[in-house]
A and B are shown apart, each in its own frame.
Chain A
C-alpha cells in the first residue's frame, strides 16, 4: 500500500527518468553531454517561468490562453523601447513587465468582474495583443539590442545559465506563495469550491485579479528571457507557447478541474517537455511529428487526471 502510494506520487519523476535513459541511449550519449544539459536548461527556462503563473490560474480552474501573446508583446515593446527610443535597459524591462501585468489585470477584469468564461476572455486578449504586437513592429523583426541585454538569456554564472537561475528562483517563489502564504490557501480553496470559498470569507474576485495579474507578470518575465536569448524581437515568437506551458502544468499533475497540484510536479512537467523537445530534435524528428507527440502527451496527461477522478467517484 505504502509502496504503491510512493510510486504513485513520484510517477511523474519515474516517467522523467525513463525519458532521459531512452534519449541517452538513442542519441548515443549526446543527450546527456554537459553541453546539451546546459542547452536544455536554457530551452526550458522561459516556459518554466511562465508555468508558475499558469499553475496558479489552473489551480483555480481557470485558463490563460493569452500568455503566448504577452510573451510576444513584451518582446516587441521591450525591444522597441530600447532600440527605437534608446531607453535604458532596466527601465524598458520594468515598463514591459508592468504592461504584461496590466494585460493580466485586464484578463482578471473580464473573468471576475464581467464574468466572461476564462477560455474566451483570454482567447480574446490573445488575439488583441498579438495584433497590437504586429501593429507596433509592422511585422518586422527588431534587432540591435544593447549588449548588456544578453545577461538574461545568454550569460552564465559558472556553468549555470542566468536564465536557468531566474527559473529556479521563480519556482522557489511560486512554491513559497502556494505553501507558506495565505494566498496559496485561498487559491486551493477557490479551486476546490468557489462558492464555499466566498462564503468562508475569501474575496474570490480580488484573488482572480491577482492570479491573472501574476500569470501576466510571469509570462512577461519569460518574454524578457526569450528576447535576450533570441537577441531580436519577432512578432511571431510567442505563438502557440501557451500550449507548451499548459502541457507542462497539466502533465505536472495540476488538475484542470482546479484545487489540486504542486509546484514540484510542474517542475517535472517542464523538464519532461523540455527533454522531449530537445531529444526529438537530437534524433532529427521533424517539427510536425513533434507537434503530434506533444499533442498526444497533453491528451494523455489530462486523460489520466480525468480517469483517476472517475475512479474516485465510483
Chain B
C-alpha cells in the first residue's frame, strides 16, 4: 500500500565526477511519524535530503510523494508537494519582523500595498498552532536562536508542509531551547505532519522518533523500530564495527605538584573572577550551558580577547598574551569550537596548516626550509593518523574528524604544552570521536595539559579529571572525579548567581 507513505525514496543514487555520494538509499516515511535518520559524517544524509528539496538531482532512483512519482525534485515542486526542510542555517532576515519573515517573498498584499495587519494576524495564528509565544512584530535579530528556528518551522507549516525534514536541529540550541523544539516536534506529529529528524545525538533520536533509519557510506543499512533498538546496536550499525568502549582508558598521569596554568580572579570578556588551576597531565573540564562564558574564558587565555583584571600564570610565571601569536609562543593552543570558521584554513593544504604557527621558526631570512616543512607535516600526519592521500591535499576536502586532527597537528608542531579544546567533537561522527579522545589521552599522558570545554554531558564526565562549571560568566561549582554526576553539573550550570563572591 503505497498510500500509507507520504514520502518514498527508491534506490536513490547520486554520482559526482569521481565520487559516489549515494550508492543506493531507500527511505519510506509514514504519515504522522517521526523518522530518525542517522549515519556518520559523510554517510550521505545531507545529499539525501537535498535530493528531496531539489537542490541535488539524483543520478538514478525515484521519489514518490503521496504515491506520485518523480524522477527529480525542484525547489518549486518540493514546496508544492508540501516538503519543507529546516536547515542548520536559517533563511531569516534579522532586520524584518517575525511576521514579515514568515511571509518572506510572498507577502500578503492589499492592492500594491503590503498588508502588515493581515500578515501579523496570520503569523499569530501560525505561532499559536505551534503553541509558541513570539510577538509577530518583534524584529528577528532580537529573537534567540531557538525562536528563529521556530519561525522557520512556522513558515513551513504556514505553507502547508506535510513533510518536515530537520537537519541537526538541536545543534545551535541551548538545552532549554531544545526542550521547546521537542515539544513542537511532538505537537506537529499529533497534527499529522511527518518528520525526518537528522541528528548526531542518539538520545534525541530515542526520545523523538518512531522508527530509525541507518545509512552508511551512501547505502541503506536498515530501519529499526525505536523502542526495540539500543544505543550500542545503532552505533555498531552506523560505524559498521563493534565499539567496545566510548571512552578510551587513560593512565594515571596527573602531576599534582606541577601547576601549568593558574588563573587568579581573572575578569574580562564577560567573565568575572575566574580562578582555577590546571596541572600537568590533567584534563580539566569546563561545563556549563552555551553562553556561560567558557569560550570567552578560552579567548582571554589565548590572547584573542583582552583581560580586564586578575592574573594568568603559566608554569608559575605571570603572562599577559595580547595576541594569539604571543600565547602560541608561550605554549598555549586553542582548538576552537567552529572548526570551519576559526580552526582550519580550509583553502590551504594540510602541510601549510600544520606548519602555520612555526613558519617563522623554520625560515632563514624569511625563506622557508622546505625540507623541514615537509618533514614536520609528514611526522604529524603519521603520528595522529590524518587520513589523506598526500599532505598537499586541501583541508576542505577532509572529513570533520580529520580536519580536527590537522588542527591538533598544528599545535603539536608548535610545541604547545597547554591545549584548550572548545567542543572537541562537535559535528564529528562516532568513530572519529573515539580517535579524538585517544589523542587527548596521548596529550596528557605525554605531560601536556588540557582544558576541555564541552556541552556534551557524557563527554565532559567521561573525559575530565576534574570539572569546573560556569554559569553567566561566573564559576558556580567544582567537582572532583568521584563527585561527577550529571544532575549536580546541571544544577551548577543553571545556577543563577546572586552572590558575586562565588568562585
Contacts from A to B (Cβ < 8 Å): 1, 180-183, 185-186, 188-189, 191-193, 195-203, 259-260, 314
Contact = CB atoms under 8 A, between A and B. Distances in A.
Contacts of B342: 195-196, 199
Contacts of A260: 347
B301 interface: no
A108 B360 CA distance: 22
Interface stretch (B163-171, B203-211, B362-370): B362-370
Interface stretch (B236-244, B312-320, B323-331): B323-331
B344 interface: yes
B341 interface: yes
A196 B343 contact: yes
Interface string B293-324: 00000000010100000000000000000011
B359 A192 contact: no
Contact of A202 (B325, B334, B346): B325
Given A193-B347, A199-B336, 19 more contacts: A180-B368, A180-B370, A182-B359, A185-B359, A188-B348, A189-B345, A189-B348, A189-B352, A192-B346, A193-B341, A196-B342, A196-B345, A198-B304, A200-B324, A200-B353, A201-B325, A202-B325, A202-B356, A260-B347
Contacts of B344: 196
Contact of B346 (A1, A182, A193, A198): A193
Contacts of B352: 185, 188-189
15 contacts: A181-B363, A182-B360, A182-B368, A183-B366, A185-B348, A185-B359, A189-B356, A191-B347, A192-B347, A193-B347, A199-B304, A200-B345, A201-B356, A201-B357, A314-B55
B414 interface: yes
A182 B370 CA distance: 10
Given A193-B345, A200-B345, A201-B414, A185 B357 contact: no
A115 B357 CA distance: 25
Majority secondary structure of chain B interface residues (helix, strand, loop or mixed) = mixed
A82 B363 CA distance: 41
Interface in B200-224: none
Contacts of A201: 324-325, 328-329, 356-357, 414
A185 B360 CA distance: 11
B360 A259 contact: no
B355 interface: yes
A192 B345 contact: yes
Contact of A181 (B302, B334, B355, B367): B367
Contacts of A198: 304, 323-324
A192 to B, nearest CB: 4
Closest CB pairs A-B (n = 4): A182-B359, A192-B347, A201-B357, A200-B356
Given A199-B336, A200-B345, A186 B368 contact: no
B410 interface: yes
A200 B357 contact: yes
A306 to B, nearest CB: 16
Contacts of B18: 1
Nearest to A180: B367
B368 A192 contact: no
A164 to B, nearest CB: 27
